[in-house]
Structure formats: C-alpha cells, structure tokens
Amino acid sequence: VKVGSRTATVMRVAAVEKPTNWTEKYIKEVPVSLLRPGVDTEDTIRAKFEKVIRDAQDSICAAISEIDGKPFHQDAWTREDGGGGITRVLADGNVWEKAGVNVSVVYGSMPPEAYRAATGTAPADLEKAKAAGGRVPFFAAGISSVMHPRNPHCPTMHFNYRFFQTEDWNGIPGQWWFGGGTDITPCYVVEEDLKHFHGTYKAVCDRHDPAYFPKFKKWCDEYFLIGHRKETRGLGGIFFDDLNDRPAEEILAFSKDAVNHVVEAYCPIVKKHMNDSFTEEQKQWQQIRRGRYVEFNLVYDRGTTFGLKTGGRIESILMSMPLTSRWEYCHEPAAGTPEAEFMDAARHPRNWV
C-alpha cells in the first residue's frame, strides 16, 4: 500500500537528502505497518494501537486539510535501530500557520536510566536490575500533534497519545503503560468554546470512567504549567501518563475514543473564528502567547527535552514550535482587558464544565 493511497491530503512523499546529524533514513513508501514483522501480530495491543494512531493521523489530517484548503507535506523515515515514523506538516496554510501530526513506532533497547517502572517495580529490584547491566528491550508508539492557526481568535491545539512497553529484563517482568491527552491554547477566553472543548472530552472520559475527567483535567493544568511564570501554557484539556491500572484493551479503547474526538473537540471552534477580524494588537498578543508556548516546550515538556537530548529527529520534535513568536520585556496586559482575562484564567485554572 502506498502512502499516497492512504489519504488524499498527502502532497508528496519526500526524498530529502539525509543531513549529517540525523540517523534516520528517509523512505519513499510507508509500509502498511511499522511493526516488527512476525513479532507484533494483529492480535497484539501494539498492532491495534498502531492502527489507531495511523488511522487517526489520516482522518485528522484529512479534516484539517479540508478546512484549510491546503494539503499536508509528508516525510516518512525508518530508524536504524528499529521502527520508523511518518511526519506530516501543513505549513503556511490558509487557516493554520503551521500544523503537524507525527506518528512514530520505534523499538530496540534503551539505557536503564530511561526506564520508568510505571507498574510499580520496587526501587530495590530496579537497582538490582540496573546493577546487572545491559539495556532494556522496549517498544514505543505514539501520535503527537500541534496546530497553530493564523487568526488570534482561533486556538492552538495539541494532542499526544502513546503506548510504551518493555520486555522482561534482568528479573523485572515486562511493563506497559499508556499516556496522552488533548489540550487547547487560545489567546482569549471564550467561555462557550471552552465549554465545548472540555465538554467533548468530559463525555469521552465519562464513557470509560467517571473518575477520569476530573483527574485528567487537573493533571493537564498541572503538567502544562510554565513554572517560572506561574501560569499555564493554555486553558487545559486532559492529560494522563503511566496508565495501566486496568486491562490494556480498556485503556486502548479509551485512548482510541480520545484521539478520535480531536476533530469534534477542536474544529468547530476554528471554523467559528477563522474569519473573525482582528487588530494588530491582537496579533501581537497571540505572538507573545506563542513565545510562552516555546518557553514551555523547550524548558518543561518531557517529550521535547528528552528528545532533544537523546538524538531524536529534531525536525519532528520541533514541529511543535510556532511559525513565529515574540518576547516583550515586562509585558503585562492592562487590567480589565480581554488579555488580562486570559492571564487570570492561566494563573488560576478554572473548571469549564
């Protein structure tokens, strides 16, 4: 199956020359599966999760592209150590300045320092396993996306869903966990929009566990805190990590439901505001908020900071950067303005539903 046939929104499959500092190999055709042939059979969670995220990449890109009127560009690559990825970027669009949706499926072995004993391995056992040496066999698959619209009345949106698994290693049984979330970063507080976005995810969560939404909404506010400014990056959504407290099939079903509601949660808000008029001041405010987005991603975001320091594919990792951003010395909106209202919501996270 050629990539081009998976979705009509793909403009071309790049055959970019490999720069000296990347270890990935570009490929012209994306295989039906990036999984390990013969190992990750169709009945595995790995295979099912790959299908979820690749289908989601197709359907989300198609929906965004239809609104924007411009196709995504695609780079597909394989990794020497195992696995590969599909990076799709819509740059300089009509509605979005920059929108990217990445899928990656990688496996191999990692240094023990990277091991997260999510299922509760006793620290002593972990130390013993580390002392025995060697590397931890792992499998990781995920979809991640950031979309930055042009219009300051249209919010930026981010989502990420991932599955991680380790194999038995030095006496520690194999572990697995899911993580992810969808969150929204507007420049202005539009209560109706926030009710729609948060309400969509509350409904998704409630279908799987009524305890999910309050827990994951709070986690989102805490995770996306720009620590040095004591303000959140955006206005929330859901976020979860290390989730493995019930059968994997159930969390897979929840993750699938969540990623499949990105379009419903986000696109109506964009459609509503994409033709709103705006002033130069509003555009500059958006640019300042984009600067905050950069600060969060480069200083705090685990995926970004880990990726940059461990030699991930830089252009895929930094696809989350806005096209443009701005830093003004001591910028603080005047009291009573819509910008000050946003700051209040960023400094004191609210419940929108």
Using CB under 8 A as the criterion, which residues of the chain lie in contact with its own copies when the complex forms? 16, 19-21, 73, 75, 89, 91, 98, 100, 227-230, 287, 291, 294-295, 298-299, 305, 308-309, 311, 314-315, 318-319, 321-330, 332, 347
Beta carbon nearer to its own copies, 209 or 295: 295
d(CA 116, CA 42): 27
Can 208 be counted among the known catalytic residues?
no
- 119 vs 325 by CB, closer to its own copies: 325
User: CA 88 to CA 13: how far, in whole Å?
Assistant: 10
Task: Indicate the residue among 32 and 314 with the shorter CB distance to its own copies.
Answer: 314
Q: How far apart are CA 333 and CA 37, in angstroms?
A: 56
Minimum distance from CB of 323 to its own copies (Å)?
Answer: 6
Minimum CB separation of residue 330 from its own copies in Å reads 5
Nearer to its own copies (CB atom), residue 135 or residue 331: 331
**Complex with its own copies: residue 39 or 314, whichever CB lies closer:** 314
CB neighbourhood size of 311 (10 A):
10
Q: Which is nearer to its own copies, 51 or 229 (CB)?
A: 229
Distance (Å, whole) CA 223 – CA 142 = 19
**Is the four-CA dihedral 51, 66, 261, 107 of positive or negative sign?**
positive
Q: How many alpha carbons fall within 13 Å on the CB side of residue 112?
A: 16
Q: Which residue, among 114, 26, 40, 100, has the nearest Cα to 64 in the 3D structure?
A: 100
C-alpha 264/C-alpha 196 separation (Å) is 9
CB of 132 to its own copies, least distance (A): 27
User: Of the listed 153, 158, 198, 273, which one is catalytic?
Assistant: 158
**Least CB distance from residue 308 to its own copies, whole Å?**
4
Query: What angle is formed at CA 151 by the lines to CA 148 and CA 152, rounded to 5 degrees?
Result: 85
Please state the closest distance from residue 283 (CB atom) to its own copies, in A: 12
Round to whole Å and give the CA distance between 255 and 29.
27
Q: Which residues contact 68 (CB under 8 A, 6 or more apart)?
A: 90, 93, 94, 95, 96, 99
Sign of the CA dihedral running 28, 33, 36, 37: negative
**Cα(299)–Cα(311) distance, rounded to whole angstroms?**
17
- Closest contact distance (angstroms) between CB of 127 and its own copies is 20
The tokens of 127 are what? 């130390």
Nearer to its own copies, 190 or 288 (CB): 288
Distance separating alpha carbons of residues 257 and 314, to the nearest angstrom: 29
- Min dist CB 240 to its own copies, Å, is 25
Q: Could you list the active site residues?
A: 158
